[in-house]
Structure 1
Amino acid sequence: MMEVTQFQKIGIGLTGFGMFFVLFGVMLYFDSVLLAFGNILFLAGLVFIIGPRRTAHFFFQRQKFRASSFFLGGVALVLLRWPIIGMLVESYGFVLLFRSFFPMVFGFVFSIINNPFLDALFKKLFGSNTSMV
């Protein structure tokens, strides 16, 4: 099993806080300060988790140039106080950039749903005739 370093733990915290601030900024009708702070924390957390060289390599690959330009352009628009347009552009870039990770995430989520403990909990809460998935 891979050991998590202190820098990666800090990165996980920064990324989590970044996602929290982005979500909170969207909930408060696209507050540009919260969205900008969340974007900065998310990117800083990504750098701490995978390292500066691998982060630069991830964003600046030839085949991911369009996705990276949309994502980083959206971050720049949010920083320039165009939060709604910036978040739309950033979301499109995020989907293009991280689309290779989505099958793994969905597989993980569905494996959690098929957990026997959660299955018993769902049966107890919602009755025995419901099916999840």
Structure 2
Amino acid sequence: MFEITDTQKIGVGLAGFGISFLFLGVLLLFDKGLLAIGNLLFISGLGCVIGPRRTLSFFFQRHKLKASISFFGGVIVVLMGWPIVGMIVETYGFVLLFSGFLPVAINFLRRVPVLGTLLNMPGLSRILDMLAGDSNRTTV
């Protein structure tokens, strides 16, 4: 097992609160205050979990530069007060940045007891297979 530091625990909490605030901001018709707080908490939580140096090297790799500019540009647009436009730009950048993790996340979620049953339903399973890029997945 690996040991989790206190800073990483705080980072998981910050990122969790950030995702919660983002969800509430979208749920409450793109409330710019909640979206701004959610963005700041998520980014600071990510920095605490993987460390500042690895966070900077993740976001500013040469092949991820367009995605990083889109993501941070969307955050800035949300902070300026245009939440719908900012969230669209930010979502585009987020998908480009984290699309490599999507197959791993989908396969992990399929192994969660209750959620896995829902995700393995015939219609939803086909959509998730297309998203994950797993065309010939075998069900166990």
CA RMSD of aligned residues (A): 1.6
SS in 2 for 1:16: helix
Q: Deviations over 1:27-67 (max 9, x none)?
A: 11101010000000000000100011000000000000000
- Residue in 2 aligned with 1:23? 23
The CA distance in 1 between the partners of 2:40 and 2:98, in whole Å, is: 18
Structure 1, unmatched stretches of 5+, are 123-130
Identity of aligned residues (%): 55
The CA distance in 2 between the partners of 1:27 and 1:111, in whole Å, is: 28
Structure 2, unmatched stretches of 5+, are 126-140
Letter in 1 for 2:46: L
Cα displacement (A) at 1:22 = 0.4
Cα displacement (A) at 1:3 = 1.2
Letter in 1 for 2:2: M
- Residue in 1 aligned with 2:75? 75
- Residue in 2 aligned with 1:52? 52
SS in 2 for 1:29: coil
Moved over 6 A (4+): none
Letter in 2 for 1:99: S
Letter in 2 for 1:4: I
Cα displacement (A) at 1:2 = 1.4
Cα displacement (A) at 1:111 = 1.6
Cα displacement (A) at 1:101 = 0.3
The CA distance in 2 between the partners of 1:3 and 1:99, in whole Å, is: 27
Alignment of 1:80-99 (within 5 A): 80-99=80-99
